[in-house]
Amino acid sequence: MPSNRAARRLQDIIDNAHAIFTYTEGMDLTAFEEDRRTYDAVERCLQRFSEAAAKLGDLAPVLMPDQPWQKIRAFGNVMRHEYDAIREDMVFEIATKDLPGLCAAAAEALRLWDSPKLP
């Protein structure tokens, strides 16, 4: 039977994505840029999201092969070490355009977690 750690990481990805969807619901870029509290919350969720992806390690591309894992992990490093180079529009685009597909892929991977096809 597979380890529960990967399932926990997938759930972390899903939970943080859903939090971001809730925080940004009904917002456009201008509203997002003007709401520092929402921006900070989204950025923190993206950090956790990136950390969960890193903890999935080599299993991430096996579970969700169509996702840009290198970029997801790299963004976590940017948030930690080059935070002053992050633009609000980039964070908003990730939250609204990139995250829905990744969240759906994580939900599907979690649903299939007990499948004998997965390692």
Query: What are the pLDDT digits (tens) for 43-86?
Result: 999 999 899 999 999 999 999 999 998 888 888 888 889 888 89
- Mean pLDDT, the chain, whole residue set: 90
pLDDT of residue 116: 59
User: Would you say the pTM of this structure is higher than 0.85?
Assistant: yes
Cα three-residue angle 71-52-33, rounded to 5 degrees: 60
pLDDT of residue 115: 65
Beta-carbon contacts of 4 under 8 Å, excluding residues fewer than 6 positions away, are: none
How far is 50 from 81, CA to CA, in rounded Å? 14
How confident is residue 1, by pLDDT bands cut at 50, 70 and 90?
Answer: very low
Collapsed DSSP state (helix, strand, coil) of residue 26: coil
